């Protein structure tokens, strides 16, 4: 078994894909919402099992990722840990190596991005670094398939014992050496299993919460008191430990690295003068967003229509023909329940794939960190910081990946708040409803109304963020520290796999949860009779009508809203059934003649702000790991959407616009 470790942005997923190809499996670390990638590769007749550890800057328990990475190495004891480092940021990315080599598993350094380092004018001699570290160093350019074979060969030979392995360990900064010894003596013989003793002593000095807790449980009260006293007297020790590691790195690279003369301005710096500028940066971001949406809809919408007509429509036709022998309700269940519900979700796949591909490319070239940076000021209003912008942006495609994307945020508080707000981002399905209804109701003003609807949703999002931050979280704020990686050319393989994984995640959701709920809602609409008007769903709609009346909605619009819970665009299909009209041009016009403008606006408002679809709810529960938070989120959205659309209804009725 081989583990792949490395700091963020060192090209870890590219190397993982290079080694395993398509022999990989993506899941979660047990009990954590952290992605776990595993795969296999064969070399010289031996099959190796490769586990991708989460990307972390260090191994001190600052985040769940760091705990996962080190627990894996300590408990599972892989035969080799491949530590990937970025040659262009050699000093900083060796920091993780300094931590890794004090753990009980042999380490190989994969010196990736040698080409980028060269571009930056850095000269690195891998053999010299190899000799200094006392561990194998393999130069690589993973994006160009260089070094993968050598890396695997080194892994193979190290496991066979054909390479000597004699790492030079880093030491704590000289002024704290005595304190470290003191701690080691105090805890000698009673260290939590299975951690090495000297490592525990170091982690105690670093103030590692997890190790501190475990050690406290292990020691007697008096022993712990003694340890605690020493620790308290040296609460600055963690900087000494980090300094010690950087001193070690300095010694290791002294001979191996030659820097260019100062004054050379790199491409990244030139691009960043624009991309991170407070004004130009925002304009560039706006332009990129605009282009992304244009691309997504220009290519995705016709594809969606094709899928809808030929695949979903075709399947429905086939099912109807095949099930001619069965009772009517069976074919109705298959056609309207299963194909209508889950199938409609799948037609969104082209839009999502395009959107994910553009996002993946922006991420891969290094732009997304800049987008987060320029949005930081705005996100501060909600007590969030720039990083929360990235998942929210994904939400314009679909809220499901937005909620899943909140994993990039370190603090749990910020993560909960971000996924709380994600359903307020108008996703492609909601925009479909707006695009369908707006022209019939508002004629030439349709575009204006559509923009207004998006703007309204975003304003409500910002206000909700401010309110929830002030009340639930009492204005706490997470620290904003983020690396801006070097720009580099996109690697299509990495992006392709990312798109594949994100899309498959969506399909899996669509084929399980959604299928189930589709059948339930279908049953409610088909039972007890064949007529929707007398179904249970209609009964529920009539029962809820008083609540709808406040915003000018009758029971049919209420029912349409209810069915949007499966998938947003279901609203239109439901109205089609209720008004017994074709879904085409006829329905929108029919609606426009039956309902007034205020009702139309109220209905659109409701659609924008209403509780999200069941797939989004499912991932909110999965990522927040809390039913309470999920229900709070739904209740909040229900109240906000109801108040907002009632407000819109009364305001517009009062002014009498267009009547």
Partner 1 sequence: MKTETKTESKTEQTTKSAVLNNGVVPLSALRAGERCVVVRLAGGRGLLSRMASLGFTPGAEVTVVQNFGRGPLIARVRDARIALGRGEASKILVRR
Shortest Å distance, C-beta 103 to partner 1: 16
CB atoms within 10 A of CB 303: 15
Q: Which is nearer to partner 1, 385 or 502 (CB)?
A: 385
Residue for token digits 């798109």?
A: 499
Distance, in Å, from the CA atom of 578 to the CA atom of 532, rounded to the nearest integer, reads 7
Shortest Å distance, C-beta 120 to partner 1: 8
Q: Is 60 in the site for partner 1 (CB under 8 A)?
A: yes
Distance, in Å, from the CA atom of 267 to the CA atom of 458, rounded to the nearest integer, reads 35
User: Which residue in 16, 95, 355, 555 binds partner 1 (CB under 8 A)?
Assistant: 95
Instruction: Compute CA distances 246 → 57, 94, 112, 133, 277, whole Å.
Output: 13, 9, 20, 13, 32
User: Which residue in 64, 88, 140, 358 binds partner 1 (CB under 8 A)?
Assistant: 88
Contacts of 413 (CB under 8 A, 6+ apart): 473, 476, 478
Q: Is 58 in the site for partner 1 (CB under 8 A)?
A: yes
Tokens coding 102: 């004090």
Distance, in Å, from the CA atom of 443 to the CA atom of 433, rounded to the nearest integer, reads 15
Shortest Å distance, C-beta 247 to partner 1: 9
Which DSSP helix (H) or strand (E) runs through 28? Answer: strand 24-28
Q: Is 191 in the site for partner 1 (CB under 8 A)?
A: no
Shortest Å distance, C-beta 550 to partner 1: 42
Q: Is 320 in the site for partner 1 (CB under 8 A)?
A: no
Shortest Å distance, C-beta 154 to partner 1: 25
Contact pattern for partner 1 over residues 277 through 306, marking x by CB under 8 A: -x----------------------------
Q: Is 242 in the site for partner 1 (CB under 8 A)?
A: yes
Helix/strand/coil for 547: helix
Contact pattern for partner 1 over residues 482 through 511, marking x by CB under 8 A: xxxx--------------------------
Contact pattern for partner 1 over residues 372 through 391, marking x by CB under 8 A: xx--xx-------xx-----
Q: Is 436 in the site for partner 1 (CB under 8 A)?
A: no
Tokens coding 583: 């879904």
Q: For the chain, how long is the longest CA-to-CA vector?
A: 86
Shortest Å distance, C-beta 212 to partner 1: 11
As to burial, measured by CB atoms within 10 angstroms (0-12 exposed, 13-18 middle, 19+ buried), residue 89 is buried
Q: Which is nearer to partner 1, 239 or 291 (CB)?
A: 239
Distance, in Å, from the CA atom of 490 to the CA atom of 138, rounded to the nearest integer, reads 23
Q: How many residues does the chain have?
A: 659
Tokens coding 533: 């008007």
Roughly how many angstroms between the first and final C-alpha of the chain, as a whole number?
72
Distance, in Å, from the CA atom of 532 to the CA atom of 539, rounded to the nearest integer, reads 10
Tokens coding 186: 């105090």
Q: Is 246 in the site for partner 1 (CB under 8 A)?
A: yes
Q: Which is nearer to partner 1, 98 or 398 (CB)?
A: 98
Stretch of 187-195, 350-358, 440-448, 475-483 lying at the interface with partner 1 (CB under 8 A): 475-483
Q: Which is nearer to partner 1, 8 or 658 (CB)?
A: 8
Q: Which is nearer to partner 1, 363 or 569 (CB)?
A: 363
User: Which residue in 132, 163, 218, 238 binds partner 1 (CB under 8 A)?
Assistant: 238
Q: Is 481 in the site for partner 1 (CB under 8 A)?
A: yes
Distance, in Å, from the CA atom of 351 to the CA atom of 233, rounded to the nearest integer, reads 59
Distance, in Å, from the CA atom of 384 to the CA atom of 364, rounded to the nearest integer, reads 24
User: Which residue in 134, 167, 192, 207 binds partner 1 (CB under 8 A)?
Assistant: 207
Binding residues (CB under 8 A) for partner 1: these are 57-58, 60, 62, 88-92, 95, 120, 122, 206-207, 235, 238-239, 242-243, 246, 268-269, 272, 276, 278, 369, 372-373, 376-377, 385-386, 477, 479-485
């Amino acid at each position: 078994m081989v583990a792949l470790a490395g700091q963020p942005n060192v090209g870890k997923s590219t190397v993982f894909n290079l080694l395993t190809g398509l022999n990989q499996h993506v899941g979660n670390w047990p009990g954590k919402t952290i992605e776990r990638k595993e795969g296999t590769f064969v070399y010289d007749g031996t099959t190796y099992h490769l586990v991708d550890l989460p990307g972390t800057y260090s191994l001190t328990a600052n985040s769940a990722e760091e705990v996962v990475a080190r627990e894996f190495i300590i408990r599972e004891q892989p035969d080799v840990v491949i530590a990937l480092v970025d040659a262009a940021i050699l000093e900083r990315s060796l920091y993780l190596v300094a931590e890794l080599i004090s753990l009980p598993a042999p380490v190989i350094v994969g010196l990736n991005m040698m080409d980028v380092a060269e571009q930056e004018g850095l000269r690195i001699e891998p053999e010299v670094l190899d000799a200094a570290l006392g561990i194998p160093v393999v130069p690589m350019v993973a994006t160009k398939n260089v070094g993968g074979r050598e890396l695997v060969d080194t892994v193979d030979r190290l496991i066979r014992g054909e390479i000597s392995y004699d790492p030079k360990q880093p030491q704590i900064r000289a002024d704290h050496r005595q304190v470290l010894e003191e701690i080691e003596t105090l805890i000698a013989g009673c260290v939590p299993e299975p951690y090495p003793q000297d490592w525990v002593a170091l982690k105690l000095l670093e103030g590692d919460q997890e190790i501190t807790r475990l050690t406290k449980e292990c020691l007697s009260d008096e022993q712990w008191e003694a340890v605690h006293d020493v620790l308290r007297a040296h609460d600055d020790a963690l900087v000494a430990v980090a300094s010690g590691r950087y001193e070690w790195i300095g010694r290791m690279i002294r001979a191996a690295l030659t820097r260019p003369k100062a004054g050379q301005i790199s491409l990244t710096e030139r691009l960043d003068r624009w991309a991170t500028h407070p004004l130009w940066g925002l304009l560039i971001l706006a332009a990129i967003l605009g282009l992304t949406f244009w691309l997504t809809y220009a290519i995705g919408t016709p594809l969606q229509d094709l899928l809808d007509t030929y695949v979903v429509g075709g399947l429905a036709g086939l099912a109807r023909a095949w099930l001619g022998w069965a009772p009517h309700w069976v074919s109705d269940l298959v056609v309207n329940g299963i194909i209508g519900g889950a199938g409609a979700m799948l037609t969104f796949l082209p839009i999502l794939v395009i959107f994910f591909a553009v996002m993946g490319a922006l991420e891969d070239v290094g732009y997304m960190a800049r987008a987060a940076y320029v949005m930081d000021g705005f996100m501060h209003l909600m007590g969030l910081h720039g990083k929360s912008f990235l998942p929210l942006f994904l939400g314009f495609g679909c809220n499901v990946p937005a909620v899943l994307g909140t994993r990039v945020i370190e603090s749990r508080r910020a993560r909960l708040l971000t996924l709380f707000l994600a359903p307020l981002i108008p996703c492609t399905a909601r925009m479909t409803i707006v695009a369908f209804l707006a022209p019939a109701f508002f004629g030439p003003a349709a575009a204006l109304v559509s923009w207004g609807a998006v703007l309204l949703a975003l304003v409500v999002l910002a206000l909700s963020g401010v309110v929830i931050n002030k009340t639930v979280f009492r204005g706490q704020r997470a620290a904003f520290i983020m690396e801006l990686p070097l720009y580099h050319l996109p690697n299509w393989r990495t992006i392709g796999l990312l798109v594949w994984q994100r899309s498959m995640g969506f399909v899996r959701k669509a084929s399980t949860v959604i299928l189930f709920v589709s059948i339930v809602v279908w049953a409610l609409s088909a039972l007890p009779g064949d007529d929707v008007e007398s179904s249970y769903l209609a009964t529920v709609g009539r029962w809820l009508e008083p609540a709808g009346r406040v915003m000018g909605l009758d029971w049919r619009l209420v029912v349409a809203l209810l069915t949007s819970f499966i998938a947003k665009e279901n609203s239109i299909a439901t109205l089609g059934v209720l008004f017994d009209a074709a879904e085409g041009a006829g329905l929108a016009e029919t609606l426009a003649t039956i309902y007034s403008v205020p009702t139309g606006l109220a209905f659109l408002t409701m659609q924008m702000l209403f509780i999200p679809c069941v797939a989004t709810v499912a991932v909110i529960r999965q990522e927040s790991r809390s039913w309470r938070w999920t229900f709070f989120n739904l209740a909040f959205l229900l109240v906000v959407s109801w108040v907002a659309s009632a407000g819109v209804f009364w305001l517009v009725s009062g002014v009498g616009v267009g009547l």
